[in-house]
Amino acid sequence: MAPQKTVGILGGGQLGRMLTHPAALLGIPLLILDSGSYTPAKQTLLPPENHDGHLDGPFTSEPHIRELAKKCDILTVEIEHVNADVLEAVEKEGLCEVQPSPSTIRLIQDKYQQKKYLSEKGVPVSPFGELPPNPTESDFKAVTDKLGLPVMLKAKTLAYDGRGNSPLKSTSSEDIQRSLDFLGDRPLYAEGWCSFVKEVAVMVVRNKEGQVKSYDAVETIHRESILRVCLAPLRGEKSLNARARQLAESAVGHLTGAGIFGVEMFLMADGSLLLNEIAPRPHNSGHHTIEACHTSQFENHLRAILSLPLGSTDLIVPSAAMINILGASSSMEPIEIMRDNALTVSGATVHLYGKKESRKARKMGHITLTAQSDADLTENLRTILFAQPDADA
């Protein structure tokens, strides 16, 4: 047997935490880089006080990334907002392998560049237009003349959970100012409004040898740009699942590097699919794969980057759902109520991420529900959602 490789993860949140579970099962040593000694991912490994391998520092810090690289055989990410330049240097200097490739991470970090690149490659995307730095009212008028109204204004960088999105309904000074106040002084672009019928996501895994496997497509339900519920498999006309998987696999084919990718799409009224964005890492719309599929997205990510055989992506249940547990306020009580309620529901599995502080709309955990039929799933889903705090309250 080849000597076990140590994997370093940039980011120690819930995605890192869920990577630690299959790593433990497969005997893969993992080291985490993130600020704090007790982040969600660091909690599930050896007790932090006995573990001198994790690094306490920002995943954007050059010295910390270099130190991690020295201790590991391969670096990967659980968040795309890392320091791609340092990752590229570390790889070029032969200090450590990086997967997926730093150039993919860099491209995806900038949502405008990502969209431009994919559209140039012929991937169908929502229409979009660039805005200059410090855009004026006439810049907004020019872009909305092209795209129509409303548009979704998006921060090009450092966006997640809708925190870089602001719908713009008109080019009145008040509406523009409201969006700018929300988005801050980040570089922006605009997307034409997609009146989608459903949102769809597909997880795709590719190993270093070029083997590609996708999971069944899922329906994702967002409110205020944050994922709330995910339903697997996607229901609808017969060819839809295959078309979504094919689009996702071909889009990922334009990116380099190994690992798992989350591909978000819009299903339009005419049946066409438009790509929204790609995440170069495990993704919230693949959490159900832990209980509902032969091999989870997290395990397949590790297998892909370590050249281990990829596992089956097939569903092992007819119907599954994932419900995010979002903070409603600083109180932990609604989270505990949701957990305790879910424990009474057959087929429900609770994941809490070990975050010490709750905040409005913060992802605190999720519940996976598996069922033998959509009817059973719907009934149990209702029981779970009934206990959900209103994150917008």
Residue 88 interaction partner, one of Mg ion, ligand ATP, none, beta carbon < 5-8 Å per kind: none
- Paired residues of 278 in beta bridges: 263
Check residue 225 for interaction with ligand ATP (CB under 6 A): yes
Q: Closest distance between ligand ATP and the C-beta of residue 127, in Å?
A: 8
What binding mask, one character per residue, do residues 116-155 give for ligand ATP by CB under 6 A, x or -? Answer: ----------x-------------------------x-x-
Check residue 193 for interaction with ligand ATP (CB under 6 A): yes
Between 102 and 164, whose beta carbon lies closer to ligand ATP?
164
* Per-residue exposure over 54-90, b if at least 16 CB sit within 10 Å of its own CB, e if not: bbbeebebeebbebbbeebebbbbbbbbbbbebbbbb
- For 153-198, the three-class secondary structure string (H helix, E strand, C coil) is EEECCCCCCCCCEEEECCCCHHHHHHHHHHHCCCCEEEEECCCCCE
For residue 63, what are its two tokens?
């010295």
Check residue 162 for interaction with ligand ATP (CB under 6 A): yes
Instruction: Report how far residue 80's alpha carbon sits from residue 379's, in angstroms, rounded to the nearest whole number.
Output: 36
In contact, 356 and 383? CB cutoff 8 Å = no
Residues 23-62 that bind ligand ATP (CB under 6 A): none
Residue 91 interaction partner, one of Mg ion, ligand ATP, none, beta carbon < 5-8 Å per kind: none
Coil, helix or strand at residue 335: helix
**Helix, strand and coil percent figures for the chain, each rounded to 5:** 35, 25, 40
Out of 8, 22, 164, 259, the only residue in the binding site for ligand ATP (CB under 6 A) is 164
Q: Closest distance between ligand ATP and the C-beta of residue 149, in Å?
A: 12
Out of 199, 216, 291, 299, the only residue in the binding site for ligand ATP (CB under 6 A) is 199
| Residue 48 DSSP code | G
> Which residue shows structure tokens 């000597």?
3
How many chain residues are in contact with Mg ion, going by CB under 5 A? Answer: 1
Pairing relation of β-strands 55-56 and 30-34? parallel
What binding mask, one character per residue, do residues 319-358 give for ligand ATP by CB under 6 A, x or -? Answer: ----------------------------------------
Instruction: Report how far residue 294's alpha carbon sits from residue 289's, in angstroms, rounded to the nearest whole number.
Output: 8
- Paired residues of 190 in beta bridges: 129, 153
Distance of CA 232 to the CA centre of its chain: 16
Between 139 and 199, whose beta carbon lies closer to Mg ion?
199
Q: Closest distance between ligand ATP and the C-beta of residue 126, in Å?
A: 5
* Residue 135 main-chain phi, psi, to 5 deg: -65, 145
Check residue 222 for interaction with ligand ATP (CB under 6 A): yes
Rg of the Cα trace of the chain? 21
Q: Indicate the residue whose CB is closest to Mg ion.
A: 264
Q: With CB under 6 A as the contact rule, which of the stretches 141-149, 161-169, 291-299, 307-315 interacts with ligand ATP?
A: 161-169
Q: Which helix (H) or strand (E) holds 147?
A: helix 137-147
Residues 225-284 that bind Mg ion (CB under 5 A): 264
For residue 9, what are its two tokens?
């993860």
Q: Closest distance between ligand ATP and the C-beta of residue 237, in Å?
A: 21
Q: Closest distance between ligand ATP and the C-beta of residue 201, in Å?
A: 9
What binding mask, one character per residue, do residues 275-304 give for ligand ATP by CB under 6 A, x or -? Answer: -xx---------------------------
For residue 355, what are its two tokens?
């975050």
Q: With CB under 6 A as the contact rule, which of the stretches 65-73, 85-93, 193-201, 329-337 interacts with ligand ATP?
A: 193-201
Out of 34, 78, 91, 264, the only residue in the binding site for ligand ATP (CB under 6 A) is 264
Between 112 and 298, whose beta carbon lies closer to ligand ATP?
112
Residue type, position 331, single letter: S
Out of 53, 160, 175, 352, the only residue in the binding site for ligand ATP (CB under 6 A) is 160
How many chain residues are in contact with ligand ATP, going by CB under 6 A? Answer: 18
Coil, helix or strand at residue 208: coil
Residue 194 interaction partner, one of Mg ion, ligand ATP, none, beta carbon < 5-8 Å per kind: ligand ATP
Between 282 and 347, whose beta carbon lies closer to Mg ion?
282
Measure Cα distances from 91 to 75, 82, 283, 318, 360 in Å: 9, 15, 25, 43, 39
Pairing relation of β-strands 226-232 and 218-223? antiparallel
Q: What residue ranges bind Mg ion (CB under 5 A)?
A: 264
Q: What residue ranges bind ligand ATP (CB under 6 A)?
A: 126, 152, 154, 159-162, 164-165, 191, 193-194, 199, 222, 225, 264, 276-277
